[in-house]
Every structure is written in C-alpha cells, then in structure tokens.
Amino acid sequence: MISPIIAAAFAVVYLLATVRLCRGVKLDAKALCLGGVICALTLVLASVRIPLPTGSNITCGSWIPLMLLALVYDYRLAMLTGWVCGILVMILIPGWEAVHWAQIFVQQLVCFSCLGYAGVFGADKRWKALCGMALAVAIRCCGHVLSGVIFYSQNAWDGWGAWGYSLAFNSSRLIEGVLSILIVSLLPLRLMRRTALQKGGNV
C-alpha cells in the first residue's frame, strides 16, 4: 500500500511544480516550430533501442534533444515539449503503451518533460548545467522505478521483489542518463546559448 502512496505523492508534486515553472512561457511561432522539431527528433531517437540482458534497453540518445532545448533555449518550452513527447510515444512507439491509466501520470508525463529540468539552474556556468542535468536524470529514474514497482511488479524475477526488480530493470535509465550528461557536457553550450540569444532566443 505504501508504494502507490509514494507514487501518487511523487506525481502530484512533480506535476504541480512543473506547471508552476511553465507559467509565462511564450509559445510564439518560433517556439512552436522548435518544439515540434525537438519532439520529432526525440521520438525518432527513442524508437532506436539497444536491448540489454535485463530485458530493458537504451535508446539512441533520445534524452539529449530535450536537454539541449532546456539548456540552450528555454527549459519551460522543453518541459511542454516533453509532455507532448510523453503522449505521442504511447501512440507511435511500440513498447511504450501504458498498462494502466495512472501510469500516464506517474511515468508518461514525467519521463520526457523532466528533461526540461536540465536548464532550471541556468547554463551560464558548467556546474549549473551539470546540476540541472543530474536533477533531470534523477527525476526520470524515479518515475521509471515507481512505475515499475506499481505497474510491472508481476514481472519481478523470483526472489527479487517489486522494488529490487524495478531498480535492476531500470538501471539502464541511469546508464543512459549518465551517458547523456557526458555527451551534452562535451558540447559548446555557452556558444550555442550565445547563438540562440543573438537570433532572438527566448531564454
């Protein structure tokens, strides 16, 4: 009984905090076009998956576009774009279907939109970007683990239990998150952000 309570509290706190952060975002033509491109790129990369022995998988860098949108342009737009991605993957990508309506709130509305938190501390300093990306990865991992505990506990391996199974199965999310942080950290974020500002970016 404690697991559903934790999951419900996590989903409510996350959604309320994210909605609050998204206030004031400007959805002009440029923002909508950029969000659409990032959404399409994210979905394409999410459809290319590398299977792992645990039964889980790692995508081909699907976390990176939303992280870059948050760090270079506007983290609020990245959050909104992530919500759109979370809904579209259930329609367009096999294996992402929700097994229960509540999973949409615990996982689907979290696993992509949370990548917008990569830019919540700013990107003018490297350590700020790293802190933001670490927070984004932590939130996403929590969403996947809680979803696994509640909605996929029947798939738990013998002797592992719901929590042990979910943590082991979703360890790939942490691996992918760390790899995404490393790749984004190697990019010239300051130059990319300066270019976005010069071209009228909403940052």
What's the pLDDT tens digit per position in 133-144?
999 999 999 999
Residue 174 CB: number of other CB atoms within 10 A?
16
Terminal Cα distance for the chain, rounded:
43
Q: Say whether 57 sits in a helix, a strand or coil.
A: strand
pLDDT at res. 99: 82
Q: Which residues pair with 50 in a beta bridge?
A: 58
What's the pLDDT tens digit per position in 102-123?
888 889 899 999 999 999 998 8
Identify whether the C-beta of residue 65 lies closer than 8 Å to the C-beta of residue 38: yes
Identify whether the C-beta of residue 183 lies closer than 8 Å to the C-beta of residue 61: yes
- Is the alpha carbon torsion for 59, 60, 62, 63 positive or negative? positive
Tokens of 89: 């993957």
Q: Mean pLDDT for each consecutive 10-residue tract of the chain (203 residues)? A: 85 94 89 94 94 89 96 94 93 81 88 95 91 97 93 89 93 95 92 73 48
Give the total residue count for the chain.
Answer: 203
pLDDT at res. 197: 66
